[in-house]
Amino acid sequence: MLNLVRGRYAVRTAAGEDDVARAQRLRHLCFRGNDRGLDRDGFDPVCVHVLIEERATGRLVSCFRLLPLSGGAEIEASYAAQFYGLAGLRDFTGPMVEMGRFCIHPEARDADILRVAWGALTAYVDGQGVELMFGCASFAGTDTAAHLDAFALLGARHLAPRRWLPRIKAPDVFRYAQRLASVPADARKAMAAMPPLLRTYLAMGGWVSDHAVVDRDLDTLHVFTGVEIGRIPPARKRILRAVAGRDAGAVDAARAAR
């Protein structure tokens, strides 16, 4: 169970169906443009739902869901496996967690919300001994031309190790690593246009698929993104664990003892 209070915000796991419905309504607003319905699917019943609320008002400002897996043998049970060929990750032996449906209320523009979300995720990862965190990081819209700088940078600098590289499975994809191999990447422009969630993944040493899936249902382009916890730069770990209220030395010692 997650219970984290930082500044104006409190983070907790959903306590029941009403909480899950609140998250699904916020997801519908963020992904489909209105809050008159619920964004839900068959993965919701098996996920841990995390809510970030304003302490003063109780307003839900952000949410995401977590799907824990014992290791790569369960990778086909993930949401991402619908869209990517993940056979390479079957050999990953450590615990995993898939983060999905992350969203922030469009009227909530406080950068601390994303920081608190990562603090909560860090607390979960440390508490469960997770060794690989993954998910689908989304770009708004399905027009690939609007994101060429970002895709050129991803292809040039951030592709997954060959042994873990996701294969093409979805019927509609943009093979950016191949298509943009000769296109120079403007790093400053690309990072400025990168979705905040993906930008944070990359700062932790995250890697991505060599292609983007065109999701016309949610009007997004998404890339598979993975972060090997053991490869996160120490300075970044200290920052995340400070937000999570975790002692970095104690956490690393506990991991080494497992």
pLDDT tens digit at each of 258 positions of the chain:
789 999 999 999 999 999 999 999 999 999 999 999 999 999 999 999 999 999 999 999 999 999 999 999 999 999 999 999 999 999 999 999 999 999 999 999 999 999 999 999 999 999 999 999 999 999 999 999 999 999 999 999 999 999 999 999 999 999 999 999 999 988 999 999 999 999 999 999 999 999 999 999 999 999 999 999 999 999 999 999 999 986 555 445 445 555
The whole-model pTM stands at 0.93
Domains of the chain (ranges, CATH numbers):
3-257 (3.40.630.30)
Local structure of 39: helix, strand or coil: coil
What does the DSSP 8-state code read for residue 184?
P
Contacts of 30 (CB under 8 A, 6+ apart): 103, 104, 105, 106
CA distances to 44, 77, 93, 197, 225 from 208, in Å: 24, 19, 20, 13, 4
